[in-house]
Amino acid sequence: MNSTIRNIEIFELGSKGKESSSPWSSTILLVRLTSADGQIGYGEAPTTFMTMSVRESMNEVARTFSGKDFFNVEENLNGFYRDSFYLPKSMQHTAALSAFEIASWDLIGKELGTPVYRLLGGEMNRKMRAYANGWYSDCITPADFVAKAKKVVKMGFTAMKFDPFGDAFDGITGEQLARSEAIVAEMRNQLGDSVDLLIECHGRFSLHAAEMVAKAMEKYNVFFIEEPLHPEMEHSLRVLRKKSGIPIALGERLLNKADFARVISQNLVDIIQPDVTNSLGILEGKKIAAIADSFGVPVAFHNAFGPIQTAATLNIDTGIRNFLIQESFEAFWPDWKAKLLSEGYTLERGYFKLKGKPGLGIKVNEKVLESSKVDGMEPYDPSEPPWVVSNTFSMKKKDK
């Protein structure tokens, strides 16, 4: 066995136009590592309004990983940490490094003929409850949300996340709050208590606005409220938690276990949402989950990009005891993304399962990989930020 990384290829994938379920991932970035023995491993990096900078960071990581032993995950990451002066604060670099870390584990599992989760402690959760996201494109009114939500329930999902806040940003007016509350109220009224409602804020509010939102949402038995404050205002999370009984979730913008240790140990959060594609990959994700478990904090991994991210995430979910629920956009992906894997995990009636195949458990469809190559920045729509589900920000119907 020769576990040297012989070849590194970086792919940018996408399609023409903005993706409706998740505009922030209209492009995705993959890395393909090939070992000296010809074994192949895949990893994925996020692109949210930073496709080109992450791609260039992946080229930087490639220089340091070339010729390395892919089994030495800790050593290879630490070497880049040593050389990258801004790594702890650079999402571009942590995103790039995460892709290589994930691909290394895919190689390790394939080389040893076993799934990654067996190398991390084995199975604890043989199926993982999913919540739907990306389902509410073009939804403006309460009736719009409910009509689409009922279709999601028919798919078998028992939980769904959505952003009802339209064009509110930083502050929120009485009219905006009333409109947002009407959406949540009608969702709860029409779907009943058998469906969990997860409220997405996208880190858009000041403390005062977040307090208004939390107070308005409390009566609707909300599963959690996600990123209610601007991310740089984490010091105010303690104030918000004292004023609201709604569990607060966050984590997709935290970059490593030290970031999570800080917010968890300071009692700033109820549920953590690490993202394996920007917080240093699978092994770091396992460590983050262990830190959270030590404080009794459950984990609901952020998962808003592509299928390789999902597969990597599920290999952690399978083996942690504080698993809560798993985000899923799968049912609302464009065709190219849905067909990128010819073999992998399953999502049936609202639950994920891994098949127990070696590595990440996936097989990439080479035809789709080739036909979906793109080059350049992701689409940009000046009428709404890329982090919202399409056509939900302006609160006005758009012509198709």
CA gap 345, 333 in Å, rounded: 15
CA gap 339, 371 in Å, rounded: 11
Among 168, 190, 171, 169, smallest CA distance to 179 is for: 168
CA gap 350, 187 in Å, rounded: 18
**Residue 400 DSSP label:** -
Among 277, 267, 274, 278, smallest CA distance to 234 is for: 267
CA gap 8, 145 in Å, rounded: 44
- Per the listing, tokens 């709860």 go with 188
Structure tokens at 324: 């809560």
Q: Which of 208, 230, 235, 302 is catalytic?
A: 302
Query: Is 202 part of the annotated catalytic residue set?
Result: yes
Query: Is 302 part of the annotated catalytic residue set?
Result: yes
C-alpha distances (whole Å) from 175 to each of 90, 93, 166, 181 are 38, 41, 11, 10
- Per the listing, tokens 């036909």 go with 371
Q: Which of 202, 208, 230, 235 is catalytic?
A: 202
- Compute the chain's Rg from CA coordinates: 20
Structure tokens at 318: 């399978």
**CA–CA–CA angle 162, 166, 170 (5° rounding):** 105
Among 54, 57, 10, 98, smallest CA distance to 369 is for: 10
Active site residues: 202, 302
